[in-house]
A = this chain, B = another copy of it.
């Protein structure tokens, strides 16, 4: 319980001495190198393991890293952990990585190129074995360059030329599900509160809306689309008013590009004395944690963020194992969560 050398951690040499073998034998016995089983006698191995446990031995990863060049560490670059999108993704990454003894080094860039460069430096000099990149900057050239040297997996962002492995959610498919959902409920005048068009999310979701309307044989009228400048309730409210108060026939359903915008739609409906879902059905996007707390609970599109993390980690591990593994680009489908804002017979 009170081992004598409590102050300094036991090294592989201490174990070797205690077991009466050479350090190299201990190293092989612990088999963290990989080719453990064959190179050392079963009994010796058992003895070593026992003694190592007794001495509370833990290999010094820095030493191993120096020797092998493998840090068992993966850098994760993201704009801002505070964005609720990311925690589940990071969780997914960590959970999968933990299975293989990898650990995550976080770096927040705030979408600031300079800070991003600094953080990247820090990660690289710590010898990360791979990089998971979720920063949104458009020019990924530096990562293309880097990806020749170490495995890189992109998250929520694919390069157009698809030369880099990536995992993303299928936003277009998400909006299409939303539109189809209200269509099936009988709605034909389906409006869209679009997000900021300078963000990829805003653009993609708008595209999805247009695509699905087309598929359903509905025409996209200008008066049925309003572009929000921000993902905020206020902008959502403004857009909803515009859509609902125009001279044209009123829409009976609104597909919002985001839950925040959907909340704004609620406020607008309320102000105009309209009911949801009776007068106007509303569909949000993202299924934020509070979506089911609204009244009525908001029908929304949920993304498997945790899964994204899981898959990205999987991809990383595959490529670490075999750097020439095929470059995969994975799209994860979203899920439609139906709640009271589109169906009167709501659950709960």
A interface with B by C-beta (< 8 Å): 7, 58-63, 65-66, 71, 73, 80-82, 84, 86-88, 90-91, 94-95, 98, 101, 103-108, 118-119, 121-127, 149, 233, 263, 270, 288-290, 293-295
B108 adjacent to A122 (CB under 8 Å): no
Given A61-B126, A108-B94, do A82 and B87 touch, yes or no (CB 8 Å)?
yes
B62 adjacent to A66 (CB under 8 Å): yes
**How many of these chains are in the complex?**
2
B289 adjacent to A62 (CB under 8 Å): no
Q: Which are the 8 A-B pairs with shortest beta-carbon distances?
A: A290-B290, A62-B65, A58-B125, A62-B66, A61-B126, A81-B87, A82-B87, A62-B62
**Which residues from chain B contact A91 at a C-beta distance below 8 Å?**
80-82, 108
B60, B88, B233, B270: the one within 8 Å of A82 (CB): B88
Given A66-B60, A127-B60, A293-B233, do A101 and B122 touch, yes or no (CB 8 Å)?
yes
Given A58-B125, A62-B65, do A263 and B90 touch, yes or no (CB 8 Å)?
no
**Which residues from chain B contact A101 at a C-beta distance below 8 Å?**
122
A122 adjacent to B103 (CB under 8 Å): yes
B118, B149, B293: the one within 8 Å of A263 (CB): B293
**Which residues from chain B contact A108 at a C-beta distance below 8 Å?**
91, 94-95
A111 to chain B, nearest CB (A): 14
A58 to chain B, nearest CB (A): 4
A117 to chain B, nearest CB (A): 12
B58 adjacent to A121 (CB under 8 Å): yes
Given A105-B104, A108-B94, do A71 and B81 touch, yes or no (CB 8 Å)?
no
**Which residues from chain B contact A80 at a C-beta distance below 8 Å?**
91
A125 adjacent to B61 (CB under 8 Å): yes
Give the CA-CA distance A121 to B7 in the complex, in Å: 16
Give the CA-CA distance A228 to B218 in the complex, in Å: 50
**Which residues from chain B contact A294 at a C-beta distance below 8 Å?**
293
What are 22 residue pairs bridging A and B, where the CB atoms are less than 8 Å apart in the complex?
Answer: A58-B121, A60-B127, A61-B127, A62-B62, A62-B65, A62-B71, A62-B127, A63-B66, A73-B126, A80-B91, A81-B90, A84-B84, A84-B87, A86-B87, A90-B106, A94-B106, A95-B108, A98-B119, A103-B106, A103-B123, A288-B290, A289-B290
**Which residues from chain B contact A149 at a C-beta distance below 8 Å?**
7
A60 adjacent to B293 (CB under 8 Å): no
Give the CA-CA distance A293 to B298 in the complex, in Å: 13
**Which residues from chain B contact A7 at a C-beta distance below 8 Å?**
149
**Which residues from chain B contact A118 at a C-beta distance below 8 Å?**
98
Give the CA-CA distance A326 to B257 in the complex, in Å: 52
- Nearest to A88 among chain B residues (CB) is B82
B81, B84, B126: the one within 8 Å of A289 (CB): B84
**Which residues from chain B contact A60 at a C-beta distance below 8 Å?**
66, 125, 127
- Nearest to A293 among chain B residues (CB) is B263
Other A-B contacts than A61-B127, A87-B87, A105-B105, 19 sampled, CB-CB below 8 A, are: A58-B125, A60-B66, A61-B125, A62-B63, A62-B65, A62-B71, A73-B126, A81-B87, A81-B94, A82-B87, A82-B91, A86-B87, A98-B118, A101-B122, A103-B105, A103-B107, A270-B295, A288-B290, A290-B290
